[in-house]
Amino acid sequence: MVKKLRLLANIFLGFSLLSAAYGFYQIYLFRATLPPGVCPVDNNRTFLYLGIAFALSSLILDYMAGRYEKKD
């Protein structure tokens, strides 16, 4: 069970890195077409929130795996 939780935590961490990197890349590309004073994050906020959610769930799963490992 612990190995499965650790694997799932690592997969979620990978998803968080990929979604956050894609969001930042989209912001970088979109910023070049905007006039000065416009926030480029508003259009790509979903990918950043998705990355944060995956990172938090990875942290929680890793913590749970550590707790189960100590009990055994």
pLDDT confidence of residue 40? 81
pLDDT confidence of residue 72? 59
Residue range 13-62, pLDDT digits in tens: 999 999 999 999 998 888 888 888 888 887 788 888 999 999 999 999 99
Q: Is 16 helix (H, G, I), strand (E, B) or coil?
A: helix
How far apart are the C-alpha atoms of 25 and 29, rounded to whole Å?
6
How far apart are the C-alpha atoms of 54 and 37, rounded to whole Å?
31
The answer to whether the predicted template modeling score (pTM) of the entire model surpasses 0.85 is no
pLDDT confidence of residue 44? 80
Contacts of 58 (CB under 8 A, 6+ apart): 9, 10, 12, 13, 16
